[in-house]
C-alpha cells in the first residue's frame, strides 16, 4: 500500500496532550469572509480501507461521519464567498454554492433539480449563516425578472436584511397569521400557473418560458426559517399547506427552503420529510436527529460553523464547508438594497 494511503497511528497519551496544547495556545483565529474550511480526507466508498489524505502535514483527528471515516485537518485554508459564485447555467436553473467539498471544489446546489430543500442544524452549527450565504448569492446572481422570493421568519431577526431586495415579494412575514396568508397566496399562484400551462399545452414553467418568451415568468423561492415555530402551531394547518406546495409546485417554478434548529419527529414529520428528498444536515446533537434529516448518522459528529452533510435523496451524501457572511457584510448589503442601488 502506498505510504500516503496508510492509516496513521497516534500515541494514546502524547497525541491528546498535543491536541490540547494546539487548541489552547497555537490555533489561529479566523475572522475573515469565510468559514475556516476543514480540509478533509475521505475514504472512497468503493475502497473503504484506504485513505486519501489531506496534503497538509498538520495534527489529524480521525472520526466517522455519514458511515465514512474522515480525517480533519486542523489548519484549514480560507475561501471567499464572492469568488465561488458560478456563472449562470445556459438552461433554467436556480443555483448557489453550498460550500467547499473535501477535495476543494465548490458544491453547487440547484433548486430546479432539488426541487425543495430542508436544512437543519442546532445552535452554533452555522445554519443562519448558511441561509445568508444562499440568499446573498441568489439576489446577486438573479434579477427580480428571473427570481422572486417569499420570506417567512417567525423570529423576525434573520431575514430582515432582504426586505428591500427587489426580488422579495412584500414584507418579511414574521408571525403565524402573516405566514399562513403568504402560503395561501403561494398556493393560489401555483394553481393559476399550472392551469395556465395546461391550457397552453405546456407541462411546466421551463417549457412555458421557452414557448412564450414574451410572457416569461420568474421562479419563486419560498424561504421559511425556524419553521418549527409554525409547524407546531395547529391553528393554520401549516404542515398541510407545506405538503401541498411541495407536491405540486415544481412544475409551476415554485421552490421551498425550510430551515429549523429542531430536527425532531414532531417538526420534521413523515409527511414533511417525504416531500423533501434534498436535505442538508449541519451539526445536530444526536445521531437520531441526523437520521431524520439525511437518513443516516453523522451529523452529530460535524464540527459546527458551517460543516455540513448534503443528501440528494438518491443515496449520495457529500460533505461541505459553508461560507461565512459577517454582520458587517449583511449591514452593508442592506444599506445598498435600501438605497435602491441594486444588487450588492
Predicted pLDDT of residue 5: 45
Lowest-confidence range among 64-68, 99-103, 131-135? 64-68
Looking at residues 152-169, what average pLDDT do you find? 92
Q: Give yes or no for residue 76 having a pLDDT over 60.
A: no
* Structure-block grid coordinates of residue 177: 397569521
**Whole-model pTM?**
0.75
Q: Give yes or no for residue 77 having a pLDDT over 60.
A: no
Predicted pLDDT of residue 341: 55
The percent of residues above 70 in pLDDT, for the chain, comes to: 72
Looking at residues 96-120, what average pLDDT do you find? 93
Predicted pLDDT of residue 68: 42
Predicted pLDDT of residue 166: 93
User: Between these two residues, 65 and 113, which has the higher pLDDT value?
Assistant: 113
**Backbone torsion region of residue 342, taken as left when φ is above 0, otherwise alpha when ψ lies between -120 and 50, otherwise beta:** left
How far from chain centre, in Å, is Cα 280? 6
Predicted pLDDT of residue 59: 26
Looking at residues 108-125, what average pLDDT do you find? 94
Predicted pLDDT of residue 22: 52
Looking at residues 13-23, what average pLDDT do you find? 60
The percent of residues above 90 in pLDDT, for the chain, comes to: 52
Predicted pLDDT of residue 37: 28
User: Between these two residues, 20 and 93, which has the higher pLDDT value?
Assistant: 93
Q: Is the bond preceding 115 in cis, omega lying within 30 degrees of 0?
A: yes
Lowest-confidence range among 52-66, 137-151, 200-214, 251-265? 52-66
Q: What is the torsion angle, in degrees rounded to the nearest 10, for the CA atoms of residue 189, residue 192, residue 194 and residue 196? A: -140
Burial class (CB in 10 A: 0-12, 13-18, 19+), 118: buried
- What is the C-alpha separation between 337 and 344, in angstroms, rounded? 7
Predicted pLDDT of residue 292: 93
pLDDT 10s digits, 214-251:
999 999 999 999 988 888 876 789 999 999 999 999 99
Q: Please say whether the beta carbons of 111 and 250 come within 8 A.
A: no
Predicted pLDDT of residue 106: 93
Looking at residues 84-108, what average pLDDT do you find? 79
> What confidence category does residue 38 fall into, taking pLDDT thresholds of 50, 70 and 90?
very low
Task: Give strand ranges (E) for 57-146.
Answer: 60-65, 68-73, 95-100, 106-110, 117-120
Q: Please say whether the beta carbons of 154 and 229 come within 8 A.
A: yes
Looking at residues 308-325, what average pLDDT do you find? 90
The string of DSSP codes covering 172-187 is PB-SHHHHHHHHHHHH
Q: Please say whether the beta carbons of 130 and 306 come within 8 A.
A: yes
**CATH 3.40.50.300-classified regions of the chain:** 82-338
Lowest-confidence range among 40-49, 234-243, 254-263? 40-49
User: Between these two residues, 3 and 178, which has the higher pLDDT value?
Assistant: 178
> What confidence category does residue 90 fall into, taking pLDDT thresholds of 50, 70 and 90?
low
Mean pLDDT of the residues in the chain: 78
Question: Topology of 82-338 in CATH?
Answer: Rossmann fold (3.40.50)
Name residue, grid cell 434573520.
Answer: 158
Burial class (CB in 10 A: 0-12, 13-18, 19+), 20: exposed
Predicted pLDDT of residue 240: 92
Q: Give yes or no for residue 313 having a pLDDT over 90.
A: no
Amino acid at each position: 500500500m502506498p505510504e500516503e494511503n496508510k492509516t496513521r497511528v497516534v500515541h494514546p497519551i502524547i497525541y491528546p496532550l498535543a491536541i490540547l496544547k494546539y487548541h489552547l495556545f497555537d490555533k489561529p483565529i479566523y475572522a475573515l469572509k469565510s468559514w475556516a474550511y476543514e480540509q478533509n480526507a475521505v475514504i472512497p466508498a468503493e475502497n473503504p480501507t484506504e485513505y486519501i489524505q489531506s496534503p497538509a502535514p498538520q495534527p489529524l483527528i480521525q472520526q466517522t461521519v455519514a458511515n465514512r471515516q474522515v480525517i480533519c485537518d486542523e489548519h484549514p485554508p480560507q475561501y471567499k464567498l464572492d469568488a465561488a459564485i458560478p456563472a449562470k447555467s445556459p438552461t433554467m436553473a436556480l443555483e448557489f454554492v453550498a460550500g467547499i467539498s473535501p477535495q476543494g471544489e465548490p458544491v453547487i446546489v440547484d433548486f430546479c433539480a432539488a426541487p425543495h430543500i430542508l436544512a437543519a442544524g442546532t445552535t452554533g452549527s452555522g445554519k443562519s449563516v448558511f441561509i445568508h450565504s444562499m440568499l446573498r448569492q441568489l439576489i446577486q446572481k438573479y434579477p427580480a425578472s428571473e427570481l422572486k422570493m417569499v420570506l417567512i421568519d417567525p423570529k423576525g431577526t434573520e431575514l430582515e436584511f432582504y426586505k428591500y431586495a427587489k426580488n422579495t415579494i412584500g414584507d418579511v412575514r414574521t408571525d403565524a397569521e402573516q405566514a399562513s396568508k403568504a402560503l395561501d397566496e403561494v398556493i393560489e399562484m401555483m394553481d393559476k400557473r399550472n392551469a395556465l400551462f395546461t391550457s397552453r399545452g405546456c407541462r411546466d414553467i421551463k417549457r412555458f418560458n421557452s414557448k412564450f418568451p414574451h410572457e416569461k415568468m420568474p421562479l419563486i423561492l419560498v424561504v421559511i426559517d425556524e419553521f418549527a415555530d409554525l409547524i407546531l402551531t395547529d391553528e393554520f394547518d401549516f404542515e398541510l399547506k407545506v405538503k401541498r406546495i411541495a407536491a405540486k409546485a415544481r412544475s409551476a417554478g415554485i421552490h421551498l427552503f425550510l430551515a429549523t434548529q429542531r430536527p425532531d419527529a414532531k417538526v420534521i414529520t413523515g409527511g414533511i420529510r417525504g416531500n423533501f428528498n434534498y436535505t442538508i444536515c449541519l451539526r445536530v446533537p444526536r445521531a437520531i436527529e441526523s437520521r431524520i434529516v439525511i437518513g443516516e448518522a453523522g451529523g452529530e459528529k460535524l464540527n459546527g460553523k458551517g460543516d455540513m452533510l448534503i443528501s440528494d435523496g438518491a443515496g449520495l451524501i457529500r460533505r461541505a464547508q459553508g461560507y461565512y457572511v459577517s454582520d458587517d457584510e449583511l449591514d452593508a448589503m442592506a444599506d445598498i438594497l435600501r438605497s435602491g442601488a441594486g444588487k450588492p
